[in-house]
Amino acid sequence: MDFDFSSIKGKNVLITGGAGFLGANLAKRILELGANVTVFTRAEKSRENLKGFEDKLGFIDGNLTNESDVSKAIKSKDYLFHLAWQTDLKKSMAQPIEDVKNDLAGILNILETCRKENPNIKIVFASAVTVIGLPKKIPSDENEQEHPLSIYEANKLVAEKYLQVYYKIHGIKACVLRLSNVFGELQRIDNPNRGVLNFMIGRALRGEELTVYGTGSFIRDYCYVQNYIDAFILAAISEKTNGQVYVLGSGQGKTFNEVVEKIKGIVEEKTGKDVAITHIPFPEEENEINKRNFVADFSKFKEATGWFPKVSFDEGLRRTIDFYLQDK
């Protein structure tokens, strides 16, 4: 079944963090669907992810805490996808004030500017399933109580609450998507602190060992990026999602051992080079969030929009590895 994205054609779309992993994939797809896309990014941010379609985009280089930058960006926009965020959990713990100054001040500035200048805009916010902390049940849905275990997650949760306040009090349409582990094309494959699956792909392609913490039996819900891009668009164009928070993922749990074995198998098949796997103890300072089990129950979002992950884990993994083999 194909999703009906036709209503986004001709619409004016703003993507904060549009040069990043999620943002670039979203910008490319929405352009293909016939929308007008503006990317909001810092001037120093690389545009490498937008190569090949950069000339079709509008750009605003600015800071989300700057009122005039945001005012210029949201004028006449129909949809705002807010993806710009400091995503390193360890960095959030080491420099917590910086995250508040940038991320929380940024989203409040967006909301205030929307309230004053574009109250009809629809905001879709990328949150994370980790805001709940350690889940009480598997699979987990929106009824889990939130007990964040890092500043990163705490700030994501505060941002969710801001969006709900502005929806209830000021009528600013907003929807929150809590994403489980995302992987796919355009995510960095050299960052050990974000995107563990892509990082492992990078290690395998560079001929390095795949290092697994502990027994590797912890379960995660890994979902291919293009499935999430479908979800973002459906969340934006549906009136049913206004004011709602949704948990998203593939709905299928995999142990980390399963994942690295699949990466090993595909990379060995495609390159002819051996890939080794080693197990080491969890570092003492490792956050408990990285030791938990998690699987998403996305039934609430499916009921509202019809969404389901169309691309399987295996197919998404092959596409991702092929992309980096060709990209080199």
pLDDT digits (tens, 9 = 90+) for 40-60: 999 888 999 999 999 999 999
pTM given for the model = 0.96
Nearest to 320 by CA among 219, 200, 233: 200
Give pLDDT, residue 192: 82
Whole-number Å distance between alpha carbons of 125 and 223: 18
**Reduced to 3 DSSP states, what percent helix, strand and coil does the chain have, rounded to the nearest 5?**
45, 15, 40
Give pLDDT, residue 279: 93
Whether residue 190 is contained in a domain is answered as no
Q: Give residue for tokens 């409040």.
A: 108
Position 14: which residue type? Answer: L
Residues 6+ apart with CB under 8 A from 298: 246, 247, 248, 249, 251, 307, 308
Whether residue 260 is contained in a domain is answered as no
Whether residue 23 is contained in a domain is answered as yes
Task: Write the CATH number for 40.
Answer: 3.40.50.720
Whole-number Å distance between alpha carbons of 251 and 180: 10
What three-state secondary structure class fits 94? Answer: helix
Peptide bond into 139 cis (omega under 30): yes
Whether residue 200 is contained in a domain is answered as no
Question: Range of 92's domain?
Answer: 7-184+223-251+295-310
- The Cα-based distances of 258 to 13, 96, 254 in angstroms read 38, 34, 6
Residues 6+ apart with CB under 8 A from 251: 139, 221, 295, 296, 297, 298, 309
Phi-psi region of 140 (alpha: psi -120 to 50; beta: other; left: phi over 0): beta
Give pLDDT, residue 60: 96
Whether residue 162 is contained in a domain is answered as yes
SS (HEC) of 206-255:
CCCCEEEECCCCCEECCEEHHHHHHHHHHHHHCHHHCCEEEEECCCCCEE
Q: Say how many domains are in the chain.
A: 1
109, 64 Cβ separation under 8 angstroms: yes
Whether residue 173 is contained in a domain is answered as yes
Tell me which residues of the chain have a pLDDT lower than 50: none
Whether residue 24 is contained in a domain is answered as yes
Q: Which two tokens stand for residue 324?
A: 């980096």
Q: Which two tokens stand for residue 174?
A: 């907003």
Whether residue 144 is contained in a domain is answered as yes
